[in-house]
């Protein structure tokens, strides 16, 4: 939108500025960094470029509304959630199994250096394939646009497990516009991290994805299991609310225990 | 079901889902949305990576910093600071402005910090000159260098905000609403600063051009 009051620019033919001033502005417009400076800048930013970070990947998408979900995730980001993680890892034995050591060790190679550990929390989901996989050669690193157009990877493609948080973060991002893809990611999380730290968040996302797909019955069943298994969870009120809204009015009386 | 999804979206994002949602105003960057200069389609929103930002804007950042008065010797360091800040803030980027406007804001602030540091050190910034590869015969190139040098002196003599408005509007050729969004000032203030900057620069040129002018 261009305002009608926009002053005539010096470089505009209608401008009354002197030719010298106009030439000076043209010269300044031509000023740019050298290729060497650009290369050096790229080298100096190698740690940041190696630790993928995404716009709105966490603090916008999650902070915006799902404050309880964020609370769990943000605790990890700022590094104060260590205790909480330990507690969560020891949560109800019936619902939480031991994390898979293979998944953890395979992620180790992607760990950034300590000063950039914060960006690690927003790591891009890994969809690389092992050389032995049936999937053809690895894609060029920069083809992010093409990546976005790809459907969520099938389980067979995901030989390198994505970081737990990245999986759920991506699922949350997709929730509104593509609940089916979000549900796939949630299922992937369930398979790769059956006893993960974010089990409760996963369940919440699963319920919402199912509702988004209009699969009310599985959503209700899952929500009932949640409120029974995690009655004291900070997510429980929200799940109960979802449950209430999902049920037919007549069934509301037989709500799960609070 | 649609209502239910909207309700869930409301719980998650605090705003209704759907293509026609109207984002709540949140600071001056909101003005940039109204300028219609979004440099990313809605479909791409939320998936912009630091890698993409760097690839798409590194050269522009270097150039803008130079035009804002950062010297050739320091531009790489300042650009690095810009991108480190972008990297740190990117997860919180909420598309209330375009990435380009957002990045311009970082450049303006870092260049401003740079000017202040330089002032404390009482050094004179020596902004770079166009590469010889820009074309043209040496004499014309020399004249362009002299005129640009004069403009840089004029810009260095301006109050900071006036200098920034001038660079963003006249040199970067951004629309004034976007300039105002970057600088976090009301639109009318942007026009005022531009007008003052123009007056001073034209006076500066009138004063310095004639004695140095060629016969």
What ipTM does the predicted assembly reach? 0.70
User: Which among A31, A235, A246 is the top mutation candidate for probing chain B, defined by the most B β-carbons within 10 Å of its own β-carbon?
Assistant: A31
B58/A42 Cβ within 8 A: yes
Q: Is residue A73 part of a domain?
A: yes
Q: With bands split at pLDDT 50, 70 and 90, how would you rate the model's confidence at B60?
A: very high
Q: Is residue A187 part of a domain?
A: yes
Q: Is residue A105 part of a domain?
A: yes
Domain extent, residue A62, equals 57-130+144-198
Per residue in A169-210, pLDDT (tens digit) is: 888 888 888 888 888 888 888 888 877 778 888 888 899 888
Q: Which of A50-64, A95-109, A164-178, A200-214 has the lowest mean pLDDT?
A: A95-109
Beta carbons within 8 Å of A56's beta carbon, 6+ residues apart: B45, B46, B91, B92, B93, B94, B95
Structure tokens at A199: 């089990």
Q: Is residue A97 part of a domain?
A: yes
Q: Where are the domains of chain B?
A: 27-212
Sign (positive/negative) of CA torsion A72, A74, A75, A76?
positive
> CA B27, CA A1: separation in Å to the nearest integer?
19
A6/B175 Cβ within 8 A: yes
pLDDT at A87: 52
Per-window interface: A 228-247 vs B, CB < 8 A: 238, 242, 245-246
pLDDT of A61 strictly over 70: no
Beta carbons within 8 Å of A212's beta carbon, 6+ residues apart: A175, A176, A179, A182, B5, B8
Q: Is residue A154 part of a domain?
A: yes
Which residue of chain A has the CA closest to B131? A31
What letter does residue B97 receive in the DSSP assignment? S
* Cβ-based burial of B32 (10 A; exposed 0-12, middle 13-18, buried ≥19): buried
Q: Is residue A51 part of a domain?
A: no
Q: Is residue A40 part of a domain?
A: no
Query: What would the mean pLDDT of B75-103 be, rounded to a whole number?
Result: 87
Average pLDDT value for chain B:
74
Q: Is the pTM of this model over 0.95?
A: no
Q: A-chain residues within 8 Å CB-CB of B173?
A: 9, 11, 29
Beta carbons within 8 Å of A91's beta carbon, 6+ residues apart: A199, A230
- Taking chain B, what is the end-to-end CA distance rounded to the nearest angstrom? 79
Q: Which of A79-88, A175-184, B152-161 has the lowest mean pLDDT?
A: A79-88
Which residue of chain B has the CA closest to A118? B88
Whether the CB of A8 is below 8 Å from some CB of chain B: the reply is no
Q: B-chain residues within 8 Å CB-CB of A245?
A: 4, 7
Residue B49, classed as helix, strand or coil, is strand
Average pLDDT value for chain A:
65
Q: Is residue A79 part of a domain?
A: yes
pLDDT at B137: 58
The position carrying tokens 């598309």 is B95
Answer yes or no: are the C-beta atoms of B36 and A91 closer than 8 Å: no
pLDDT at A95: 41
Number of domains observed in the structure of chain A: 1
Partner residue opposite B205 with nearest CB, options A20, A60, A66: A20
């Amino acid at each position: 939108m261009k305002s009608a009051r926009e002053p005539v620019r010096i470089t505009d033919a209608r401008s009354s500025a002197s030719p010298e001033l106009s030439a000076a502005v043209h010269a300044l417009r031509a000023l740019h960094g050298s290729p060497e400076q650009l290369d050096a800048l790229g080298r100096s930013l190698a740690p940041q470029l190696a630790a993928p970070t995404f716009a709105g990947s966490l603090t916008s998408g999650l902070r915006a509304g799902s404050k309880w979900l964020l609370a769990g995730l943000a605790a990890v980001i700022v590094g104060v959630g260590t205790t909480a993680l330990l507690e969560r890892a020891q949560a109800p034995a019936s619902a939480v199994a031991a994390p898979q050591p293979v998944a953890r060790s395979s992620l180790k190679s992607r760990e950034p250096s300590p000063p950039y550990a914060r960006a690690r929390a927003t790591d891009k989901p890994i969809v690389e394939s092992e050389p032995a996989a049936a999937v053809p050669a690895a894609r060029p690193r920069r083809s992010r646009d093409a990546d976005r157009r790809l459907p969520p990877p099938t389980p067979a493609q995901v030989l390198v497990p994505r970081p737990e948080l990245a999986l759920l973060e991506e699922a949350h991002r997709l929730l509104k516009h593509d609940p089916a893809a979000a549900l796939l990611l949630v299922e992937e999380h369930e398979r790769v991290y059956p006893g993960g730290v974010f089990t409760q968040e996963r369940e919440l996302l699963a319920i919402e994805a199912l509702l988004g797909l209009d699969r009310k019955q599985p959503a209700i069943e899952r929500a009932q299991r949640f409120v029974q298994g995690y009655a004291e969870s900070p997510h429980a009120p929200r799940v109960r609310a979802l449950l209430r809204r999902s049920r037919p009015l007549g069934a509301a009386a037989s709500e799960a225990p609070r | 079901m649609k209502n239910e999804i909207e309700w869930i979206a409301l719980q998650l994002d605090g705003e209704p889902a759907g293509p026609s949602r109207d984002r709540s105003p949140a600071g001056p960057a909101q003005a940039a949305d109204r300028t219609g200069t979004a440099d990313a389609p809605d479909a791409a929103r939320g998936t912009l990576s630091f890698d993409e930002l760097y690839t798409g804007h590194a050269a522009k950042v270097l150039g803008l910093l130079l035009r804002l008065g950062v010297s050739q010797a320091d531009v790489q360091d300042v650009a690095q600071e810009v991108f480190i800040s972008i990297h740190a803030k990117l997860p919180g980027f909420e598309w209330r402005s375009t990435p380009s406007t957002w990045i311009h804001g970082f450049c303006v602030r870092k260049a401003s910090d740079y000017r202040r540091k330089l002032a404390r050190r009482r050094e004179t910034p020596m902004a770079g000159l166009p590469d010889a590869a820009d074309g043209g015969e040496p004499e014309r190139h020399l004249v362009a260098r002299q005129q640009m040098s004069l403009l840089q002196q004029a810009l260095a003599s301006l109050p900071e905000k006036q200098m920034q408005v001038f660079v963003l509007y006249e040199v970067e050729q951004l629309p004034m609403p976007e300039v105002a969004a970057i600088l976090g000032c009301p639109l009318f203030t942007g026009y005022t600063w531009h007008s003052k900057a123009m007056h001073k620069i034209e006076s500066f040129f009138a004063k310095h051009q004639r004695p140095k002018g060629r016969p």
